[in-house]
């Protein structure tokens, strides 16, 4: 298990390095001068040259990449091309809001998704299964930003139950403002979770150990919760790991529509203004988060699944 | 500027205070307290104004600010030499940190500062030495400030007393009173504070001298300003100003309607909707802004080198339909790039839609039904609507147009020489420039020196360049007016420009808020006040 962990960890580090290199190449390939965007129309050639020198933009791509990794090892992600503030501070100030949003969305997706998945499998072909199936497909097919706008119009403008914009201050205010964005991002995932769990439960129901449990006369509830679900949730955990990455990238819609701060909006604005240090820093932090979540999901699956655990220990 | 409002606003507080200041000065009253007792009642404890700004702050140094939001915040944090009137139809600047000023002659302007304007920290009281340092700092080529041109003809500032001095110019400078002193370049800061900050600063000012100071800044989330207890020059009615950066105006509109914002500028396309149907508890004001919108025609492009072809394009465009489509009826066609309230504003265009003449010119140029062009635009609904109408207009005269949409970062590099020869490939494009209340700001981008920088049309006219320089130092208003009109005639005559409109500004505010807006709709937050009762 330790060796498995080490291998996965090294692979994760490699992924992060490759992502940063790819990002550097991509951002510098797109047209647009960060100095001109940052300094505005009154920038003169001397000022542009000074800006480029200050940001290291006058150096070759390879030198910039090397300097970035050297700084990274010292915990320095550079400085915001426009405000001059440390990138790490800016990214870390935005990250919690996106993290809360993603966690809220996971909660929105997970609780109803698991309940619907179990009920659909348990009452396969019944009315709950059919309703769940129709609902899942409908919600999955609507883009998150459309859901977001309708949620805003109904619950903020018409009913006035929830604030429309901002992340709030203090626990309850933050929670209050998290409800609609979390719903907007998480709703589509209810269907995924429910369908995956349903399929997985049904597959597991036909396994030999479940038939044996039935033969021993165990109750259906006990079989479901003690024997079937423990294995059936494993594919869901893997999908959820990938889903968190998907939610991170979709967060930009929720952040723009709900006027929330966050990583998505930060990187979107930074791309528009060619603020490369912020783009690189944000993507780096997001990639590390995504890789860590997936590493955690894989390790959890390995730990929960006796078969994988057994294979790894051999 | 034309201001259209759903309610009539009374006498502005600023003009009242301005009158009081004048009377006070006439009566020989020194110092500041004359204003305080009259206005103290409007200071409401615990009051908070929550307003949308379109971007986060990026630099609050008067020598290096980058956006209008920076300027709005700087206005709250630092005492300016002069300040524009608010809730007025014309741009007129009144003394602010300067108690008075007087032209000794065209190149010598004597000024006197108010006593008792205090800097926060240990930087003491504002003096004429600070004015000298601040003005000369921006003018100093070694600092490389993008705003150096605001003090283009500054020779030096002579300090004649603790609070008095003389601004000495090498030549007269017309924008001095219209944009330099009332603008960010007129902010006065102490030398010691700037030096303590290492010569320049970004978002953490070393001291404050204005009505508000920064209480808390969470990047991209909110900026909270709190009343500056040292400020006594005017009132600061709200105890706190919460400025929320929201890029997307549609999001801000929803936020306003949900009651999360007290004030917000709205998108141009939403102006007709709010004019027709105002949410409960809201007030709406519309302003004809200063920012100008036009279609550029690049004469450096091979297909557009013939002036007759460019003229044919000018004549084919139905400007009213284009403007209606892009603003959904919120704006009217413009007769130039200088807004009606400023000197130099023209009353009519030289060329209007004439399809038959357009076809004739194309025929003469041998381009009948054979011209395929591109129009480059920034990716917005307004630009797309305008481009589609232009596409249809030009199709009528046999010109096929392909619309190329770009995100802003890429778009703003299209006409730049620094990016290679792509600026020669540019053909038609839609542009919008921001503007300050002096005509020189509108025309400065179209001189021959600006070709391949901001003059994407390749408009190369020596007379225009000469007039640009001459108009800067011409202080006879009538002559100056004629110069800028002539410059716009030259622009249109070249066939390189189709003037579309001045971008209207629509603002929503809660009916519990008394706004203080410049004639172009820009908010002066520190003058906002809660309505009583």
CA neighbor of B57 nearest in space, from B81, B37, B40, B74: B74
Tell me the residue length of chain B: 533
Q: Is the pLDDT of residue B397 over 60?
A: yes
Band of residue B33 on the pLDDT scale cut at 50, 70, 90: very low
Give CA–CA dist A161/A176, Å, rounded: 9
Band of residue A312 on the pLDDT scale cut at 50, 70, 90: low
A195-219 confidence digits (pLDDT tens): 899 999 998 888 888 888 888 888 8
Give CA–CA dist B171/B151, Å, rounded: 11
The pLDDT, as a whole number, for residue A222 is 86
The pLDDT, as a whole number, for residue B31 is 35
Residue found under tokens 């100071």: B213
Any idea which fold B290-503 has? Answer: Dipeptide-binding Protein; domain 3 (3.10.105)
Identify the sign of the CA torsion B358, B364, B365, B370. Answer: positive
What number of helices (H) and strands (E) belong to chain A?
A: 14, 0
Closest residue in chain A to residue B65, using alpha carbons only? A39
B216 touches chain A (CB under 8 A): no
The pLDDT, as a whole number, for residue B266 is 94
A58-83 confidence digits (pLDDT tens): 888 888 888 888 888 888 888 888 77
Cβ atoms of B205 and B77 closer than 8 Å: yes
Q: List CB contacts (< 8 A) between A252 and chain B.
A: none
Q: Is the pLDDT of residue B20 over 90?
A: no
Closest residue in chain A to residue B411, using alpha carbons only? A32
Closest residue in chain B to residue A83, using alpha carbons only? B58
* pLDDT, chain B, mean: 89
**Average of per-residue pLDDT across B190-195:** 96
Q: Which residues of B174-188 are buried (b: 16+ CB within 10 A; e: fewer)?
A: bbbbbbbbbbbbbbb
What number of helices (H) and strands (E) belong to chain B?
A: 17, 19
Interchain proximity A85–B219, CB inside 8 Å: yes
**Least confident among A94-108, A218-232, B219-233, B488-502:** A218-232
The torsion angle over the Cα atoms of residues A232, A238, A242 and A248, rounded to 10 degrees, is 80
Interchain proximity A42–B409, CB inside 8 Å: no
Contacts of A270 (CB under 8 A, 6+ apart): A276, A278, A279, A282
Give CA–CA dist B91/B104, Å, rounded: 23
B129 touches chain A (CB under 8 A): no
Band of residue A131 on the pLDDT scale cut at 50, 70, 90: confident
Q: Which of residues 267-286 of A touch B (CB under 8 A)?
A: 269, 271-274
Nearest to A30 among B257, B410, B445 (CB): B410
Question: Closest approach of chain A CAs to the CA of B397, in angstroms?
Answer: 34
The pLDDT, as a whole number, for residue B35 is 38
Q: Is B281 left (phi over 0), alpha (psi -120 to 50) or beta?
A: left
The pLDDT, as a whole number, for residue B22 is 36
Nearest to A39 among B66, B219, B246 (CB): B66
**Average of per-residue pLDDT across B42-48:** 74
Interchain proximity B246–A165, CB inside 8 Å: yes
Give CA–CA dist B19/B119, Å, rounded: 26
Nearest to A94 among B66, B220, B244 (CB): B220
Name which residue leads in pLDDT, B407 or B266: B266
Contacts of A45 (CB under 8 A, 6+ apart): none
Q: Is the pLDDT of residue B357 over 90?
A: yes
Instruction: Provide the CATH number for the domain formed by B3-246+512-530 in this structure.
Output: 3.40.190.10
The pLDDT, as a whole number, for residue B34 is 34
Q: List CB contacts (< 8 A) between A93 and chain B.
A: 218-221
Interchain proximity B433–A41, CB inside 8 Å: yes
Q: Is B404 left (phi over 0), alpha (psi -120 to 50) or beta?
A: beta
Q: Is the pLDDT of residue B36 over 50?
A: no
3-class state of residue B290 by DSSP? strand
Q: Is the pLDDT of residue A251 over 60?
A: yes
Q: Which of residues 439-468 of B touch A (CB under 8 A)?
A: 445, 454
- Encoded tokens for A173: 């205010």
- Encoded tokens for A65: 């990449």
**Least confident among A24-33, A188-197, B358-367, B474-483:** A24-33
**Average of per-residue pLDDT across B228-257:** 92
Name which residue leads in pLDDT, A78 or B284: B284
The pLDDT, as a whole number, for residue B533 is 63
Which helix (H) or strand (E) is B105 found in, with range?
strand B98-105
Interchain proximity A272–B408, CB inside 8 Å: yes
Where in chain B are the domains?
Answer: 3-246+512-530, 290-503
Give CA–CA dist A269/A281, Å, rounded: 13
Contacts of B238 (CB under 8 A, 6+ apart): B44, B47, B48, B49, B227, B528, B529, B530
B427-484 confidence digits (pLDDT tens): 999 999 988 899 999 999 999 999 988 899 999 999 999 999 999 999 899 999 999 9
Residue found under tokens 């190369």: B460
**Average of per-residue pLDDT across B326-347:** 91
Band of residue B330 on the pLDDT scale cut at 50, 70, 90: confident
**Least confident among B139-153, B178-192, B292-306:** B139-153
Cβ atoms of B441 and B450 closer than 8 Å: no
Nearest to B409 among A32, A82, A157 (CB): A32
- Encoded tokens for A137: 């497909």
B406 to A15, B294, B380: CA distances (angstroms): 31, 17, 9
Q: Is the pLDDT of residue B10 over 50?
A: no
Any idea which fold A93-313 has? Answer: MetI-like fold (1.10.3720)
**Average of per-residue pLDDT across B4-23:** 36
A261 touches chain B (CB under 8 A): yes
For residue B109, the 8-state DSSP code is E
**Average of per-residue pLDDT across B389-401:** 96
The pLDDT, as a whole number, for residue A314 is 63
The pLDDT, as a whole number, for residue A138 is 82
Give CA–CA dist B10/A123, Å, rounded: 70
Nearest to A259 among B251, B257, B409 (CB): B251
Give CA–CA dist B387/B245, Å, rounded: 29
Q: List CB contacts (< 8 A) between A86 and chain B.
A: none
The pLDDT, as a whole number, for residue B28 is 35
Asked if ipTM goes beyond 0.85, one says no
- Encoded tokens for B183: 């603008």
Nearest to B247 among A36, A38, A269 (CB): A269
Interchain proximity A163–B246, CB inside 8 Å: no
Closest residue in chain A to residue B258, using alpha carbons only? A157
Q: List CB contacts (< 8 A) between B410 and chain A.
A: 30-32
Question: 10 Å Cβ neighbour count for B464?
Answer: 21
% chain B with pLDDT above 90: 73
Interchain proximity B248–A90, CB inside 8 Å: no
The pLDDT, as a whole number, for residue B13 is 31
A149-170 confidence digits (pLDDT tens): 899 999 998 898 999 888 888 8
The pLDDT, as a whole number, for residue B100 is 95
B391 to A89, B73, B317, B322, B384: CA distances (angstroms): 47, 41, 9, 10, 10
Closest residue in chain A to residue B434, using alpha carbons only? A41
């Amino acid at each position: 298990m330790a060796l498995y962990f080490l291998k996965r960890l090294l692979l994760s580090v490699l992924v992060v390095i490759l992502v940063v290199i790819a990002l550097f190449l991509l951002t510098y390939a797109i047209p647009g001068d960060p100095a001109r965007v940052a300094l505005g129309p009154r920038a003169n050639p001397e000022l542009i040259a000074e800006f480029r020198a200050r940001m290291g933009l006058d150096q070759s791509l390879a030198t910039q990449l090397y300097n970035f990794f050297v700084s990274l090892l010292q915990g320095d992600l550079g400085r915001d091309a426009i405000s001059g503030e440390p990138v790490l501070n800016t990214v870390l100030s935005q990250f919690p809001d996106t993290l809360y949003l993603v966690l809220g969305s996971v909660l929105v997706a997970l609780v109803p998704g698991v309940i619907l998945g179990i009920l659909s499998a348990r009452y396969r072909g019944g009315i709950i299964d059919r309703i769940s199936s129709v609902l899942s497909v409908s919600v999955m097919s609507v883009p998150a930003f459309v859901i977001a706008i309708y949620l805003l119009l109904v619950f903020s403008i018409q009913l006035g139950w929830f604030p429309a914009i901002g992340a709030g201050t203090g626990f309850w205010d933050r929670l209050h403002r998290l409800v609609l964005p979390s719903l907007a991002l998480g709703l589509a995932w209810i269907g995924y979770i429910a369908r995956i769990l349903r399929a997985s439960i049904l597959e597991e129901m036909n396994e030999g150990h479940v038939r044996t449990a039935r033969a021993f006369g165990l109750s259906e509830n006990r079989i479901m919760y003690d024997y079937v679900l423990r294995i059936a949730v494993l594919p869901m955990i893997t999908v959820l790991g990938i889903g968190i990455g998907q939610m991170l990238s979709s967060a930009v819609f929720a952040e723009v529509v709900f006027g929330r701060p966050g990583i998505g909006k930060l990187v979107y604005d930074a791309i528009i203004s060619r603020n490369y240090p912020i783009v690189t820093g944000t993507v780096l932090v997001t990639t590390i988060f995504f890789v860590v979540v997936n590493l955690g999901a894989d390790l959890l699956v390995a730990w929960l699944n006796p078969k994988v655990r057994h294979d790894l220990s051999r | 500027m034309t201001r259209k409002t759903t309610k009539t606003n009374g006498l502005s507080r600023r003009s009242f205070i301005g009158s009081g200041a004048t009377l006070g000065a006439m009566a020989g009253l020194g110092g500041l307290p004359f204003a305080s007792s009259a206005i103290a009642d409007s200071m409401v404890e615990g009051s908070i104004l929550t307003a949308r700004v379109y971007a986060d702050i990026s630099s609050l140094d008067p020598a290096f600010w980058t956006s209008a939001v920076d300027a709005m915040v700087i206005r709250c944090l630092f005492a300016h030499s002069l300040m524009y009137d608010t809730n007025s139809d014309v741009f007129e600047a009144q003394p602010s940190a300067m108690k008075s000023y007087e032209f000794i002659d065209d190149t010598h302007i004597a000024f006197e500062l108010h006593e008792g304007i205090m800097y926060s920290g240990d930087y003491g009281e504002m003096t004429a030495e600070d004015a000298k340092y601040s003005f000369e700092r921006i003018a100093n080529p070694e600092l490389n400030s993008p705003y150096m041109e605001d003090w283009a003809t500054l020779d030096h500032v002579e300090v004649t007393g603790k609070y008095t001095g003389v601004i000495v110019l090498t030549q007269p400078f017309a924008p001095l009173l219209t944009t330099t002193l009332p603008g960010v370049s007129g902010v006065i800061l102490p030398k010691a504070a700037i030096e303590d900050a290492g010569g320049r600063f970004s978002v953490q000012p070393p001291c404050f001298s204005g009505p508000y100071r920064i209480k808390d800044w969470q990047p991209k989330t909110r900026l909270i300003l709190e009343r500056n207890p040292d400020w006594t020059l005017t009132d600061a009615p709200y105890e706190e100003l919460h400025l929320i950066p929201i890029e997307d105006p549609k999001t801000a509109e929803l936020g306003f309607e949900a009651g999360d914002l007290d004030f917000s500028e709205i998108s141009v396309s939403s102006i007709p909707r709010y004019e027709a149907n105002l949410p409960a508890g809201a007030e709406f004001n519309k302003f004809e802004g200063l920012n100008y919108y036009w279609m550029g025609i690049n004469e450096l492009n091979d297909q557009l080198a013939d002036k007759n072809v460019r003229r044919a394009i000018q004549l084919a465009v139905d400007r009213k339909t284009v403007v209606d489509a892009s603003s959904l009826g919120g704006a009217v066609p413009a007769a130039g790039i200088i807004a009606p309230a400023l000197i130099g504003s023209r009353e009519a265009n030289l060329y209007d839609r004439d399809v038959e003449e357009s076809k004739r010119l194309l025929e003469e140029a041998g381009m009948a039904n054979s011209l395929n062009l591109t129009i480059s635009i920034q990716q917005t609904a307004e630009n797309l609507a305008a481009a589609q109408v232009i596409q249809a207009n030009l199709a009528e005269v046999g010109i096929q147009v392909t619309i190329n949409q770009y995100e802003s970062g890429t778009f703003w590099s299209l006409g730049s020489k620094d990016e290679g020869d792509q600026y020669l490939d540019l053909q038609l494009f839609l542009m919008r420039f921001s503007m300050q209340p002096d005509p020189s700001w509108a025309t400065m981008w179209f001189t021959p020196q600006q070709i391949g920088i901001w003059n994407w049309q390749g408009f190369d006219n020596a007379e225009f360049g000469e007039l640009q320089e001459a108009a800067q130092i011409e202080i006879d208003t009538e002559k100056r007016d004629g110069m800028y009109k002539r410059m716009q005639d030259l622009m249109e005559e070249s066939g390189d420009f189709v003037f579309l409109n001045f971008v209207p500004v629509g603002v929503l505010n809660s009916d519990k808020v008394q706004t203080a807006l410049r004639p172009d709709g820009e908010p002066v937050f520190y003058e906002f006040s809660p309505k009583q009762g």
